[in-house]
Amino acid sequence: MTDTPGENPMTCPVCSAPATPPKCGTCGRPALAPFEGTDLLVLDGVRHTYGSGPGEVHALREVDMRVRRGEITLIVGPSGGGKTTALLVMGLLLKPTAGQVRLAGQSMEDASESERTRARLLQLGFVFQQFNLIKSLTARENVMVPMRYAGVSKKHAGERASEVLTALGLGHRVDHRPADLSGGEKQRVAVARALALGPQVVLADEPTANLDSVAGQRVVEKLAELASANGTSVVIVTHDTRLAPIADRLLRLEDGALVEQDVSAFAGGHP
Ligand SMILES: Nc1ncnc2c1ncn2[C@@H]1O[C@H](COP(=O)(O)OP(=O)(O)OP(=O)(O)O)[C@@H](O)[C@H]1O
């Protein structure tokens, strides 16, 4: 995988300045060549098998999937159906046994580990069930971590963190540490961290599992709202079919096979 320098400057997702690869001259965020296509993340014929011989498990069987720009996709299905495995493959955390993964038009097949790490940092955002915040850091500092890691200046990272936290309704909590935040607030900090660098796709693994239904609904609605305002796609793995009304697409993974379902059939929240 290589970044071909684009001729046209893109708008920096962190500080909104015009940015030309290799990086934004204003805040320091690495700038990627613009991708004009619709299918931000593509899985083609993806299979994944754990183990071998009599103990082998076919977690994904010939999965084809397209994550389109700005869409919210929900992946549901029974326990053991392959949802986490699919999310790990989409997040470039697991190389599938067979098949292709393409992120913003780039095949990941021959990408080196450092190219995958860079793509994860700049092009993908992650939200986990357990929030995964650093306890000793404030909300703002937590959101700044990936930006600082990517090379964004401290000043711009701080400003951007405050901006995203405020957009998520946490403007009055930026200096609080995780221990002083509610579960829903912690998850909104995690959402802010996932969105701060302007990823193309956010991958969320059971983001409402540790929240009550009202807090969970609010977090996911906010995530969907901010993501679609920026053309960011969101993929949510969940058991919580009450989230179906915010989704553009509902996919069901059962025994490693993916089937598209009608979102409206779940509008009432029944599995
Ligand atoms: N590291 C592993 N080694 C061996 N088998 C695994 C491993 N991880 C998952 N599996 C198996 O792969 C299949 C798919 O698991 P996966 O965790 O992707 O399902 P899931 O739909 O996310 O389940 P859940 O809803 O319970 O989290 C299951 O049969 C599981 O036991």
Q: Is residue 55 part of a domain?
A: no
pLDDT, tens digit, 9 for 90 and up, residues 22-67: 999 999 999 988 888 999 999 999 999 999 999 999 999 999 999 9
Q: What percent of the chain is predicted at pLDDT more than 90?
A: 79
Distance between Cα 258 and ligand 1 center (Å): 15
- Mutation test of ligand 1: which of 85, 97, 235, 237 has the most ligand atoms closer than 8 Å to its C-beta? 85
For residue 253, which atom of ligand 1 is closest to its CA? 21
Q: What is the ipTM of this complex?
A: 0.98
| 10-11 vs 57-68, strand pairing mode | unpaired
CATH number of the domain enclosing 179: 3.40.50.300
In this predicted structure, the answer to whether residue 146 has a pLDDT above a threshold of 60 is yes
* Ligand 1 centroid – CA 86 distance (Å): 10
271 pLDDT above the threshold of 70: no
Q: Is residue 29 part of a domain?
A: no
Residue 85: Cβ-neighbour burial (10 angstroms; 0-12, 13-18, 19+)? buried
Q: Does 205 map to a domain?
A: yes
DSSP string, 54-65: GG-EEEEEEEEE
**Which of the four pLDDT bands, split at 50, 70 and 90, describes residue 13?**
very high
**Domain for residue 169, yes or no?**
yes
**pLDDT tens-place string over residues 257-266:** 999 887 776 6
Whether residue 261 lies inside any domain: the answer is yes
Q: Do residues 118 and 32 make contact, with C-beta atoms less than 8 angstroms apart?
A: no
Domain that holds residue 223: 67-95+108-265
Give which of 232, 204, 74, 214 is closest to 130, Cα–Cα: 204
**Total domains, the chain:** 1
pLDDT for the residue 260: 84
